[in-house]
Amino acid sequence: MYQSCPPSVRPRLAKISVKLRTSCKNNPCTIDRVPVHAYRRAHSQGPFSMPHRRRSEIERLYRAEYPSAIELSMRFAILAVGSAILYLYTGWTSALLWLPIYFALHLLHWRFLKTHVDSSDPGDLNVAALLYLVIMASFLWMPVCMALVDDPPLQFSAVALMIATLVFLIWRGDTQPLLVMGKTALVAAAAVLITAHHMANVADVWVAGAMALSGAAAVTYFHIAQIAVRNRIKFSRRAAIHQAEAQKLEAIGRISSGIAHDFNNLLTAIRGNLELARMVATRQDREDLLVEAQLAADRAADLVRHLLSYARTARITPELVDLQSLTDEIQMLSDDLIPASTPLSVMRPSSSLHLVTDQAQLVTALLALILNAAEAQESRPGTPVTLSIADSLHMSPQEMLNGRILPAGRYVQFTVRDSGPGIPASVLPHVAEPFFTTKPPGTGSGMGLAMVSGFAEQSGGGIVIETAPSGTAVHLYLPPDSPAARGSGAATGRQLAQAAEKAHKARVLPH
């Protein structure tokens, strides 16, 4: 077993082998077996765990019933007008009570969902479902009452309301069994009341039977439609889970392969230069080889730093960034990095714009975007790459490249735009994955956008990519005050800007 090894290391290998066999004998599950409790703990967390699915269902209930303030206002306005017309037409006091009861129950339901949107308690999900069923009962009783009156306009309005309600209940796509069965029970109760009332006025047994059969068919097909939508939604969720797991495994494989490949090259360069340093005779040659080994070690450190940035664990050192000086630094560094045939055009920000972030990582991120843009338009020499910095106000949440939702608010927007051929639609979802590259082997590490995305998310921002055959624009959004600065108790951007302004005034005042 050890015959191919040098004689000097064979005893040491034999001792290590004995220790490994002893460890495996005493602790058989520590080598090739994962403890059951660890497996269960790992699968009880994450985006596909049961608590997360419960939280997602409560959030879905909230979005389905209260999608926007405009839609909600229009809904209650239409009901208010309808109840007023119904009161004027019939004189029913119940028509005036219909809307306040419906509104009060909706207010209670909205408040419960709003305060329990992050809850994973199954009891909270059942309470939310029961509250919604009570709301539907408070709404359906009025169309049922209208259908029981021998008045064609009221009966027509009741049928229209019932049809609209059935369509809406199917469209909601509820998957919770309590909601599905509860909605079917409410519709069945309404159908029984209406059918029984009108059957009492029919003398022909066959006609009455046909009416009962029609009501039962309507309820049955409503329930079948609910089950079909429920199964389709569950199937799409399972497909999304499998796709996410497959993408996760693919990303892990790409990361592992990329790390192994890059570190193997760097270690080969380090070991090769160190071994040659022992063999050369002159001191100058030895120092040159040691410098090459040091450069390879620095590249390895840069790779680790990019990986940490992608993993959102890199250390952020927030400081007040002078965006005017930043543009000068970017311009100077890019002149040495991109070819002269692709100039960089910088649109300077306003002097009042401030930013608190890690300046070194920001410069690295912007240079990575500029290099990508310059390489994308190599076939179109003379066309400049543009960098613009501006103040951006988001009135509503926006989705970023990695699917993260950026909250509404004010951000500093960095835009790098090129005139290249654009990014194919099949490639765009993967551009921010580590070690993903479309460049030939040896010409790209695939860590540029991954590092930028990690830095942006760790800073409380994100990136958005707009691409077309005429070019690509990468938007980097960063909040004026870094979350790291707020978490560390550092001064906010506005406070730092005011301090800098006072210091500047103190320097220019005459003594």
Domain ranges of the chain: 1-33, 50-201, 255-310, 319-506
Q: Which residue has the tokens 């077996």?
A: 33
Is residue 468 within 8 Å of 455, Cβ to Cβ? Answer: no
Q: Which residue has the tokens 């409560």?
A: 58
User: What was the pLDDT predicted at 1?
Assistant: 42
Between strands 385-394 and 344-347, the pairing is parallel
Mean pLDDT of the chain: 76
Closest CA to 142 of 105, 104, 95: 95
Nearest 5 degrees, angle CA 109-CA 61-CA 236? 170
Better pLDDT: 433 or 26 = 433
pLDDT category at 256 given cuts 50, 70, 90 is low
Closest CA to 489 of 354, 314, 318: 318
Nearest 5 degrees, angle CA 118-CA 120-CA 121? 125
Is residue 412 within 8 Å of 392, Cβ to Cβ? Answer: yes
> Residue 157 and residue 146: Cα distance in Å, rounded?
8
- Average pLDDT of the residues in 354-359: 84
User: What was the pLDDT predicted at 428?
Assistant: 82
User: What was the pLDDT predicted at 255?
Assistant: 60
- Average pLDDT of the residues in 260-267: 74
Read off the pLDDT of residues 31-69 as tens digits, 9 standing for 90 and up.
333 333 433 444 444 444 555 556 677 877 888 888 778
Read off the pLDDT of residues 367-401 as tens digits, 9 standing for 90 and up.
888 888 888 887 777 788 999 998 888 887 888 88
- Residue 414, helix vs strand vs coil: strand
User: What was the pLDDT predicted at 446?
Assistant: 60
pLDDT at 137 over 90: yes
Cα torsion 225, 228, 234, 236: sign: negative
Residue type, 1: M
Choose from 33-37, 188-192, 242-246, 259-263 the range with maximum mean pLDDT.
188-192
Read off the pLDDT of residues 405-426 as tens digits, 9 standing for 90 and up.
888 888 999 999 998 888 888 8
Beta bridge partner(s), residue 347? 388
Q: What is the percentage of the chain residues whose pLDDT exceeds 90?
A: 19
Range list of H helices, 280-352: 283-310, 323-337
User: What was the pLDDT predicted at 156?
Assistant: 92
Residue 85 CB: number of other CB atoms within 10 A?
A: 12
User: What was the pLDDT predicted at 32?
Assistant: 35
Q: In the chain, what is the greatest distance between 2 CA atoms, to the nearest angstrom?
A: 118
pLDDT at 443 over 60: no
Over its C-alpha atoms, the chain yields an Rg (Å, rounded) of 33
Read off the pLDDT of residues 206-216 as tens digits, 9 standing for 90 and up.
888 898 999 89
Residue type, 486: R
- Tell me the C-alpha to C-alpha distance, in Å, between residue 276 and each of 120, 193, 219, 266: 62, 95, 85, 15
Nearest 5 degrees, angle CA 455-CA 459-CA 465? 60
Residue 404 DSSP symbol:
P
Better pLDDT: 366 or 403 = 366
CATH superfamily of 319-506: Histidine kinase-like ATPase, C-terminal domain (3.30.565.10)
pLDDT at 482 over 90: no
Between strands 405-406 and 409-418, the pairing is unpaired
User: What was the pLDDT predicted at 362?
Assistant: 87
pLDDT at 229 over 80: yes
Closest CA to 411 of 391, 397, 395: 391
Give me 59's structure tokens.
Answer: 């959030």
User: What was the pLDDT predicted at 192?
Assistant: 92
Between strands 319-321 and 355-357, the pairing is antiparallel
Closest CA to 464 of 389, 391, 406, 418: 406
Q: Does domain 255-310 have CATH number 3.40.50?
A: no
Please give the order of strands across the beta sheet that includes 462-468: 344-347, 385-394, 409-418, 471-478, 462-468
Better pLDDT: 319 or 435 = 319
Q: What is the percentage of the chain residues whose pLDDT exceeds 70?
A: 72
- Average pLDDT of the residues in 12-19: 45
Q: Which of 98-107, 129-138, 222-231, 354-363 has the lowest mean pLDDT?
A: 354-363
How does DSSP assign 242-286, residue by residue?
HHHHHHHHHHHHHHHHHHHHHHHHHHHHHHHHHHHHHH--SHHHH
